Amino acid sequence: MNTAIASSKNYFTATFQDLIKYPKSGILNQVLLKDNNIQYTLFCLAAGTKIDEHSSTRNAVITVIEGKGNFNLEGKDIALAPGVFILMPANAPHAVQATENLAFVLTLSEHLPAKKKISQQTINIVKSTAPIIKQHGQKITTRMYEIMFQTHPEVKAQFDMSAQANGTQPAKLATAVYSYATHIDDLEGLKAMVDYIAHRHVKTHVLPEQYPIVGECLLQAIQDILGDAATEEVITAWAEAYQLLAEVFIDREQQIYQTDNES
């Protein structure tokens, strides 16, 4: 299991030079410490790697260790070089490009409180789409993975590509999406499913920052597969519904990481 290399209960020391390892392409990341209050993750980007615009639900700090690149924060370009320190608020859109091998530490603050409720209108719309989601679910999830692997190839390492090839992973996700559509007003009924998936996410080292990527690809896939049936009203409702579910998973995964660190 990929877990943090340090615990908040134990003394730990290291040099970044010993921890930094660059891939031939894409990204390698390693969680240094993760608990209920904060998370430190070392990111190593190969030269030329891009992380498309996304946002985090938590306040964050970027500290550049070595290399050069560009950081676009809310439309403003910031040159990355050793020693550069960037503070960004939660939900601020940002993107990264490494012009040479680039290493930085991402520090995430405590999770913001999860939204516990969504509008009744959103609940009604999402539940109304359940039949068509059931009918076209695997096509949607297959398309979602296609979009994600094309636009964010660095995440491939976290997936069992054989399960992608034989369709079992898209099928499982389609079942989960349909279950959410039918139980969006009864999240307690999804507790077992959430717990199972959250444990899988922890094993594959899913990060909170990756949820916006999945959400963006899922919404695009819904539009691609459902066509005219994916009205603006439907997409808006699913965007709100996905945000709630992402917060549920992030909170549960944080609990699992904390339990693992204490054991």
**Which one, of 30, 36, 19, 29, lies nearest residue 261 by Cα?**
36
Tokens representing 10 are 């134990």
**Which one, of 10, 53, 22, lies nearest residue 212 by Cα?**
53
Number of Cβ within a 10 Å radius of residue 89: 13
Can 178 be counted among the known catalytic residues?
no
Identify whether the C-beta of residue 26 lies closer than 8 Å to the C-beta of residue 154.
yes
Query: Could you please report the per-residue DSSP string of 170-214?
Result: HHHHHHHHHHHHHHTT-GGGGHHHHHHHHHHHHHTT--GGGHHHH
**Which one, of 92, 85, 29, lies nearest residue 59 by Cα?**
92
The residues near 4 (Cβ < 8 Å, ≥ 6 apart) are 31, 32, 33, 34, 257, 261
From the list 209, 216, 247, 253, the catalytic residue is 253
3-class state of residue 112 by DSSP: coil
From the list 180, 211, 242, 257, the catalytic residue is 211
Can 211 be counted among the known catalytic residues?
yes
Catalytic amino acids?
A: 211, 253
